[in-house]
Amino acid sequence: MCEDCGVLLPESGWEPVNAGESDTEVFRRGAVYAKCCGPAGVGELLAERDRVEWLSGTSIPGAAVLDWIEGDEGAALLTSTVPGVAAIDLPWSDKLVDSFALTLRAFHELPLESCPFERRLDDVVGQAEDVVRRGAVNPDFLTDEWRLVQPEELLARLHAELPSVREKADLVVCHGDACLPNFLFDPDTLDCTGAIDVGRLGIADRYADLALVRAQLQDEWSIDADRFFATYGLTPDPQRLAFYHLLDPLTWG
């Protein structure tokens, strides 16, 4: 039973999983994961279910939707376990960086016309505006420098850059939360075994993903992203890296 949402999971033996930063509760039983939410989160979890289902029909490995349970108490999404180890739990190596870069490049090369999901820049900025307006910015997601600045000023910085960033948009199918915990790899071959937590998947500027990757490589592995970008095949645009790096933490409140 999910304690907060009250959705009864099938049978018993579910163990709580404490990883992750979303408001959902996650449980595991054998080779099955269950992500649960209360009534207020049903729409968001349903959108994630649709994205998991869509991604499973592409060349990118990931989870399969096994069941969907919905009621007055909330909902539960049951998916298959993705084999492998999250990149964040593996020791850094050039080979792993290369594998990660090639995986994300393959993600971004999925046919745009086949993807029914969008993350329009103006919508994402609107989401950030709402978080700031509600005073819900999570300081844990901000850099030390940004914590010294009022969220309204951070938002103003985004607004100042928005026209230029919008004009240069290079649309691809983005993961939407391209962090090291969300890509799994075979610990021996370092081949990617799957992408998870795709609730923000959609058509967007590729820099929405690339900015998160660069920040993760610096924060988690203390390396620069030069090798990643070389393997990915791109000379990065500093403006868009900075813009999307700041935008993302303002959207999670």
Catalytic residues: 177
Strands (E), the chain: 15-17, 25-29, 32-37, 65-71, 74-80, 85-86, 171-174, 183-185, 192-195, 202-205
- In the block, residue with structure tokens 């939407």: 176
Pairwise CA distance, residues 165 & 189, whole Å: 38
Q: How far apart are CA 132 and CA 153, in angstroms?
A: 10
At 153, phi and psi to the nearest 5?
-70, -40
Helices (H) and strands (E) in the chain, counts: 8, 10
User: Distance (Å, rounded) from C-alpha 240 to C-alpha 244?
Assistant: 6
Closest by alpha carbon to 59, among 187, 177, 192? 192
Cβ-contact 208, 107 below 8 angstroms: no
Taking the C-alpha atoms of residue 118 and residue 105, their distance in angstroms, rounded to an integer, is: 18
